[in-house]
Structure 1
């Protein structure tokens, strides 16, 4: 987004008074004095195999951890629609799936994270990334990383005051079911189901992760849950490139 094209996309937000600016990250500065610093140095010297998974994706996994560790705040993937305020959330991460028998989480996700500055768990995440990096396994350095670290550290000081939220908080549907949120009503029964699902999400979710990898080619059908959520929550809808229509 730190480009002429990016500025075109973001200009309507700035014109409405939103404080937003695209910045290309200074990795050396952001990773300094963390275990990411030595890992990144080895990567630049060619001593680490970046693997077959996009290096940009893996750097994004590490960058979000470093930013939260050094500054605190909220991290969101760009395919997340926010439904309500995060002000009551602190040191929180969302479960993607739960075990149906134990009702305990079985996998976490790093698409939405809220942490205080210098939280010790973030340091452990960064350490895990540096020590176990694998550029050939999708998710190994991202959602699987936060899952295995928290699983290993549960009950220890690093996990004190950590809130693991149920999937409904950020992931009301799994990636394998995301298509259903893009579909409009097929008949009366389906229309009733859509209304119930939409109300459930509105009441209990802070945000909706759209699983862009699976949904980027889907059409948002009229009357769909995604269409209704976008109409309720998005500042702009985009049509024809960079032409925006305000819906607020």
Structure 2
């Protein structure tokens, strides 16, 4: 590993750290750009980002869970810092595929692979990464996120540096008001609008 030459080194380090921490201590890992809306009922789970992809932006397991150990072994064995997600979502998907056939979701129902719950993309990714700008559009609350535990805001995609602004009535602003009221009061409302 040469961190100077590897453009994804920071992400890869974070990928390894989250696996090791959850393996050692157990619990739920969530990226910092995820807004939690309600408790997650499952204990050992992966979040499907699409029909054939697991996310490493959110997952939860009991401590010393064998699946995570297999992920950490593969992290080292099949290390390739030149491929985005090789040690992240592709890793979790690859190890799951060794255990079971990856699910094809037809309805908003979760599935399982042994003792691992695979949560439907609607649970965390009702707005896919390709449509991340929808969080900054005007809010239409009708049944929008009824099947979700949390929402991933896709900050990595936000190259145009869109911000949550007060009184914009965007999806993001309404989410902050309801689920992150302290953040909304101290950061969003305190930031002068341009």
Q: Per the shorter chain, which TM-score range?
A: 0.7 to 0.9
Contact 1:182 1:220 in 2 (8 A): yes
Aligned twin of 2:173: 227
Shift of 1:49: 3.7
2:144 to 200, 208, 211: 200
Are positions 1:110 and 2:56 aligned together?
yes
Shift of 1:140: 1.0
Aligned twin of 1:152: 98
- What is the rounded CA distance, in whole Å, between the counterparts of 2:19 and 2:96 in structure 1? 14
- What is the rounded CA distance, in whole Å, between the counterparts of 2:127 and 2:2 in structure 1? 34
Gaps of 5+ in 1: 1-47, 99-105, 186-193
Shift of 1:118: 0.8
1:236 to 180, 183, 190: 183
- What is the rounded CA distance, in whole Å, between the counterparts of 2:135 and 2:10 in structure 1? 28
1:123 to 69, 73, 77: 69
Secondary structure, aligned partner of 2:144: helix
Higher helix share: 1
- What is the rounded CA distance, in whole Å, between the counterparts of 1:224 and 1:121 in structure 2? 39
Gaps of 5+ in 2: 102-112
- What is the rounded CA distance, in whole Å, between the counterparts of 1:64 and 1:150 in structure 2? 17
- What is the rounded CA distance, in whole Å, between the counterparts of 1:80 and 1:226 in structure 2? 11
Contact 2:8 2:84 in 1 (8 A): no
Aligned length: 173
Aligned Cα RMSD in Å? Answer: 2.0
- What is the rounded CA distance, in whole Å, between the counterparts of 2:23 and 2:2 in structure 1? 25
Are positions 1:75 and 2:41 aligned together?
no
Secondary structure, aligned partner of 1:239: helix
Shift of 1:213: 1.0
Q: Spell out the pairing of 1:20-59 with structure 2 (5 A cutoff).
A: 48-50=1-3, 51-59=5-13
Normalising by the residue count of structure 2, what TM-score does the alignment of the two structures yield?
A: 0.82
Normalising by the residue count of structure 1, what TM-score does the alignment of the two structures yield?
A: 0.65
Aligned twin of 2:157: 214
2:14 to 48, 60, 65: 60
Query: Runs ≥4 in structure 1, deviation > 6 angstroms?
Result: none
Name which structure has the greater RCO, CA cutoff 8 Å, separation 6+.
2
